[in-house]
């Protein structure tokens, strides 16, 4: 008899489980969507260099080796926050990092690099954000890891930290270095 | 001043809702007639003050009072007056206010029309509706106050989301909400029954017209949304299995199952606890839909207000209302045993099948909608479930459902003799098969298995539905609203099936790049781009194209697709140019300027697509006819155990 009655509890129990999932879901950031670029070829670009409009920089510069693309701007607080980490990564000298200066002013951006230090081997200047759209950028900072085969391996949305670098980037980097 | 009056009215409405809930439930528990009366008066008070609040917000929009944050965010001095009023429910805060107003309307209707109910039962129903009102009013006042001031006032408002500046979408939310919220009545009836712990057929009889009314609104609301998506989003699709669409479709499926199961409970006293569970589920799914849309747990194109604080509030509210009802169910339902039996061929069996298929489809759609959330919560990565899954899990239960529907309509309660009907049903099936094959081959030039199955089922359901009123009229029998409604609604199901089959099987879509003077041909129709011009609108500028459509050199029409850029910024909007036809729609949408005078255009040939919405309207009409059946009006007085005259009526 009791067993029979327990049947009627099933909807309530299922609903309880659902509420649990919803609660966890609420703590998550819905914007944290895996980039559809992952595993696909990096969108090619060739842009003016931030430092010298006559110089073109782009994806072709890194053909055959892994590299990083960091999207930044002087108006972006998170970029300032992660700058120290980027400098550290640059000092490791393991993988070249290109900057994509996004919707910014050239003079301000150059001043920023002069003041805070320059972690980038080159910086592409994208004042209208056209290239950033191709890369699916919807906020700065974002950091992409591109493999030796030219495929996007990882995308970090938001501030880069040493932990994230060690946890998410280094293993992928080691794997792609081994492959090439 | 007006916004403050609105805000104050909202607070008063909350106080009235608290009185309504407390006196309603406590009055019934303690048998205090005076308290129950107070509860009923509180319903009126709550309604009046919500209406005042709603009026105040509408006035702020009409008056272009950009010192109100919500008004400044969702309208603009150039916005036409019609859309300024519709902007009241154009975003989160105002649509909650609309929700509250609709709920107050339903509560008022229930209170006014339930005089023949037992006083205690009636009082409990009103009290439970009051509890739901409290939740929504608290939600508004604590997290989503539409009357918040903007200091300093804005000189000019931002604009109403351009996607919402459209006729269908201005009437879509009120109708949809009338459906969503309408299920709260069946919910309140179910909870009141569970509290009292006894269920008789009068309960089912009482719940049916209310459920039908809510279901009717929901049907129209969903159809409107689908129609809007078709001509406004620019893709020419009519259903996307988007989480927000699913959020409205799942209560509809539960409501459909409920309507059928209520018939069994009323006529035969069977499926009692199951019917109660469906009544609780239909409204729970409506609330769940609100939660999914408002909280941002699922990312969707529709989610126009995503805020974790709001999400948490709704989640707690959801847990109390739904969790409470389900616990009540777990406690009381075991006592509601149904004792009668029935034979396999009886109508009860067919409704059981109906419920099983509808609930299976519902459960699989719910699973698909929430699956990304489960995966994310379990740290298994972000994924999304696409239309192929939903199409499959919806179609598989629907095919047998349609097949059974054609037979089930003709069965009678308890035991049926299908023998006399057999020849006629087989005849309909044979005719359906022949028409499907011949028409398929003649019109579309080929016979495809899935299309043929779809057409046969559509014609089968339509023919079988027609048989009922025809047979009755020929025999000189009366045609009560309930029978006619059933036939019309089921005929509508056939019509929808026809439309879906036609458009899904034989649609042709092509993206082309055309310069002025160029033409492209699809499905034998020539689409020639003859002109491009700039057209000014009240609060937008548009590029408009003339697309001359002809067939075999004969001009059919000129389509005028537009690409609109609203002054408020944001993405450009597509207004498709559509030539409507009974056999097909011809559709042209303007894409991008490709440079050099060339534009991308999306051209589509959509056979039978109109029948999807026509069928949906027939379904709603059938619901209306059934709900207005005289039986429900006189049911108030008598308390018949089993009404033999209408025993064969659904």
pLDDT tens for B468-488 read 999 899 999 888 989 999 999
Distance from CA of residue B165 to its chain's centroid? Answer: 20
Q: Is residue A120 part of a domain?
A: yes
Strands A67-72 and A97-102: parallel
Determine the Cα angle at B382 with ends B377 and B387, to 5°.
115
pLDDT at site B339? 65
CB-CB under 8 Å, A12 with B329: yes
Are B389 and B419 contained in the same domain?
A: no
- Chain A CB contacts of B373 under 8 Å are 21-22, 25
Are B294 and B192 contained in the same domain?
A: yes
DSSP single-letter state for residue B589? E
Q: Is residue B350 part of a domain?
A: yes
Are B112 and B175 contained in the same domain?
A: no
For residue A51, pLDDT beyond 80: yes
Q: Show the tokens assigned to B112.
A: 């006014």
pLDDT at site B609? 94
How many structural domains is chain B composed of? 4
d(CA B470, CA B472): 5
Determine the Cα angle at B232 with ends B231 and B238, to 5°.
55
Q: Is residue B612 part of a domain?
A: no
pLDDT at site B18? 97
Cβ of residue B312 closer than 8 Å to a chain A Cβ: yes
Are B105 and B227 contained in the same domain?
A: no
For the segment B625-634, the average pLDDT, to the nearest whole number, is 81
Residue B189 CB-half CA count within 13 A = 30
Q: Is residue A8 part of a domain?
A: no
Last residue of a domain, which of B467, B489, B506?
A: B506
Last residue of a domain, which of B472, B506, B540?
A: B506
- Chain B CB contacts of A15 under 8 Å are 284, 322-323, 326
Which of A2, A22, A28, A154 to probe the B interface (max B CBs under 10 A)? A22
- Chain B CB contacts of A30 under 8 Å are 296-299, 306
Q: Is residue B629 part of a domain?
A: no
3-class DSSP state of B404: helix
B382 confidence band (pLDDT: 50, 70, 90): low
Last residue of a domain, which of B397, B414, B436?
A: B397
Determine the Cα angle at B96 with ends B279 and B15, to 5°.
85
- Select the residue of A5, A21, A25 nearest B334 (Cβ to Cβ): A5
Q: How large is the C-alpha radius of gyration of chain A?
A: 21
Q: Is residue A17 part of a domain?
A: no
Are B462 and B561 contained in the same domain?
A: no
CB-CB under 8 Å, A16 with B308: no
Q: Is residue B650 part of a domain?
A: no
Give the end-to-end CA distance of chain A in Å, rounded to a whole number: 68
Are B307 and B410 contained in the same domain?
A: no
Q: Which domain holds residue A136?
A: 31-179
Q: Is residue B644 part of a domain?
A: no
Are B454 and B349 contained in the same domain?
A: no
Cβ of residue B296 closer than 8 Å to a chain A Cβ: yes
d(CA B3, CA B9): 10
For the segment B121-130, the average pLDDT, to the nearest whole number, is 96
How many structural domains is chain A composed of? 1
Q: With beta carbons less than 8 A apart as the criterion, state whether B189 and B203 touch.
A: yes
CB-CB under 8 Å, A15 with B326: yes
Instruction: Give per-residue pLDDT as tens, A59-92.
Output: 888 888 899 999 998 877 778 888 989 999 999 8
Question: What's chain B's average pLDDT?
Answer: 87
For residue A23, pLDDT beyond 50: yes
Which of A1, A7, A17, A18 to probe the B interface (max B CBs under 10 A)? A18
A with B: how many residue pairs have Cβ under 8 Å apart? 68
Are B22 and B45 contained in the same domain?
A: yes
Q: With beta carbons less than 8 A apart as the criterion, state whether B21 and B45 touch.
A: no
- Select the residue of B315, B329, B382 nearest A19 (Cβ to Cβ): B315
Q: Is residue B298 part of a domain?
A: yes
Cβ of residue A4 closer than 8 Å to a chain B Cβ: yes
Question: What's chain A's average pLDDT?
Answer: 84
Are B145 and B185 contained in the same domain?
A: no
pLDDT at site B405? 94
Cβ of residue B439 closer than 8 Å to a chain A Cβ: no
Q: Is residue A4 part of a domain?
A: no
Restricting to A residues 10-49, those with a Cβ less than 8 Å away from any Cβ of B are: 11-12, 15-16, 18-19, 21-28, 30-34
Q: Is residue A22 part of a domain?
A: no
Are B157 and B185 contained in the same domain?
A: no
Question: With the CA atoms of B579, B580, B586 and B588 taken in that order, what torsion angle do they form, in degrees rounded to the nearest 10?
Answer: 50
Q: Which domain holds residue B497?
A: 398-506
Q: Is residue B649 part of a domain?
A: no
Are B99 and B178 contained in the same domain?
A: no
Q: Is residue B453 part of a domain?
A: yes
CB-CB under 8 Å, B329 with A26: no
Q: Smallest CA–CA separation between B320 and chain A, in Å?
A: 11
Q: Is residue A25 part of a domain?
A: no
Burial-class residue A54 by CB neighbours within 10 Å (0-12, 13-18, 19+).
exposed
DSSP single-letter state for residue A9? G
CB-CB under 8 Å, B311 with A11: no
Q: Is residue A19 part of a domain?
A: no
Task: Give me the helix-helix angle, B387-408 and B481-506, nearest 10°.
Answer: 140
Of B167, B257, B259, B270, nearest in space to B213 by CA:
B259
């Amino acid at each position: 008899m009791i067993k029979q009655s327990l049947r009627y509890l099933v909807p309530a129990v299922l609903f309880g489980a659902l509420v649990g999932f919803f609660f966890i879901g609420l703590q998550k950031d819905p914007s944290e969507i895996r980039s559809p670029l992952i595993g696909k070829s990096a969108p090619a670009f060739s842009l003016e260099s931030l430092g010298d409009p006559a110089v073109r920089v782009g994806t072709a510069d890194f053909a055959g080796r892994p590299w990083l693309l960091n999207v930044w701007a002087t108006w972006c607080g998170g970029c300032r926050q992660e700058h120290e980490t980027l400098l550290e990564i640059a000092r490791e000298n393991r993988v070249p990092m290109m900057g994509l200066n996004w919707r910014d002013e050239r003079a301000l951006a150059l001043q920023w690099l002069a003041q805070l230090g320059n972690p980038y081997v080159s910086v592409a200047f994208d004042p209208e954000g056209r290239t950033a759209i191709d890369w699916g950028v919807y906020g700065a900072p974002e950091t992409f890891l591109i493999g030796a085969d030219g495929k996007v391996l990882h995308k970090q949305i938001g501030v880069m930290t040493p932990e994230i670098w060690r946890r998410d980037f280094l293993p992928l980097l080691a794997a792609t270095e081994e492959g090439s | 001043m007006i916004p403050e009056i609105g805000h104050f009215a909202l607070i008063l409405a909350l106080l009235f809702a608290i009185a309504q809930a407390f006196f309603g439930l406590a009055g019934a528990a303690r048998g205090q007639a005076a308290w129950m009366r107070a509860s009923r008066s509180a319903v009126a008070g709550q309604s009046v003050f919500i209406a005042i609040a709603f009026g105040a917000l509408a006035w702020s929009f009409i008056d272009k009072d950009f010192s109100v944050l919500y008004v400044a965010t969702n309208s603009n001095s150039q916005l036409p007056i019609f859309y300024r009023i519709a902007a009241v429910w154009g975003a989160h805060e105002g649509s909650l206010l609309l929700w509250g107003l609709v709920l107050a309307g339903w509560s008022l209707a229930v209170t006014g029309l339930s005089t023949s109910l037992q006083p205690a039962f009636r009082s409990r129903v009103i009290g439970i509706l009051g509890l739901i009102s409290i939740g929504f009013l608290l939600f508004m006042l604590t997290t989503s106050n539409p009357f918040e001031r903007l200091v300093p006032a804005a000189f000019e408002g931002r604009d109403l989301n351009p996607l919402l500046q459209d006729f269908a979408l201005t009437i879509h939310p009120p109708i949809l909400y009338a459906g969503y919220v309408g299920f709260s009545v069946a919910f309140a009836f179910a909870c009141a029954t569970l509290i009292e712990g006894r269920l008789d057929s009068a309960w089912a009889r009482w719940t049916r017209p209310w459920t039908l009314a809510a279901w009717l609104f929901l049907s129209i609301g969903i159809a409107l949304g689908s129609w809007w998506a078709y001509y406004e989003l620019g893709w020419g699709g009519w259903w996307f299995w988007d989480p927000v669409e699913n959020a409205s479709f799942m209560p509809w499926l539960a409501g459909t199952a409920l309507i059928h199961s209520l018939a069994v409970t009323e006529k035969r006293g069977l499926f009692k606890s199951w019917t109660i569970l469906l009544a609780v589920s239909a409204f729970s799914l409506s609330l769940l839909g609100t939660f999914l849309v408002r909280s941002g747990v699922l990312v969707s194109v529709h989610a126009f207000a995503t805020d974790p604080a709001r999400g948490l509030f709704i989640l707690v509210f959801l847990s109390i209302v739904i969790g409470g009802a389900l616990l009540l169910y777990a406690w009381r339902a075991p006592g509601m045993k149904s004792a009668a039996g029935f034979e396999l061929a009886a109508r009860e069996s067919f409704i059981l099948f109906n419920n099983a298929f509808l609930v299976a489809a519902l459960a699989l759609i719910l699973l698909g909608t929430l699956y990304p959330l489960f995966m994310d919560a379990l740290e298994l990565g972000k994924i999304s479930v696409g239309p192929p899954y939903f199409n499959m899990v919806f179609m598989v239960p629907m095919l047998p459902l349609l097949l059974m529907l054609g037979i089930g309509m003709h069965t009678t309660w308890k035991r049926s003799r299908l023998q006399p009907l057999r020849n006629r049903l087989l005849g309909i099936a044979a005719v359906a098969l022949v028409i499907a094959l011949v028409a398929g081959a003649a019109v579309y030039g080929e016979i495809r298995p899935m299309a043929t199955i779809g057409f046969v089922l559509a014609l089968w359901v339509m023919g079988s539905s027609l048989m009922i009123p025809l047979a009755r009229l020929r025999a000189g029998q009366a045609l009560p609203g309930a029978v006619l409604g059933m036939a019309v609604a089921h005929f509508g199901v056939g019509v929808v099936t026809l439309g879906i089959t036609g458009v899904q099987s034989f649609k042709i879509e092509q993206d082309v790049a055309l310069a002025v003077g160029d033409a492209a041909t699809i499905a034998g129709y020539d689409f020639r781009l003859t002109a491009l011009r700039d057209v000014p609108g009240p609060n937008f500028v548009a590029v408009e194209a003339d697309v001359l459509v002809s067939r075999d050199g004969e001009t059919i029409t000129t389509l005028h697709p537009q690409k609109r850029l609203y002054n408020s910024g944001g993405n450009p909007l597509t207004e498709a140019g559509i030539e409507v036809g009974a056999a097909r729609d011809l559709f042209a949408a303007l894409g991008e300027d490709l440079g050099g005078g060339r534009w991308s255009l999306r051209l589509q040939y959509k056979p039978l697509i109109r029948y999807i919405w026509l069928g949906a309207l027939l379904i709603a009409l059938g619901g209306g006819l059934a709900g207005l059946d005289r039986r429900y009006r006189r049911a108030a007085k008598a308390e018949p155990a089993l009404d033999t005259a209408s025993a064969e009526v659904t």
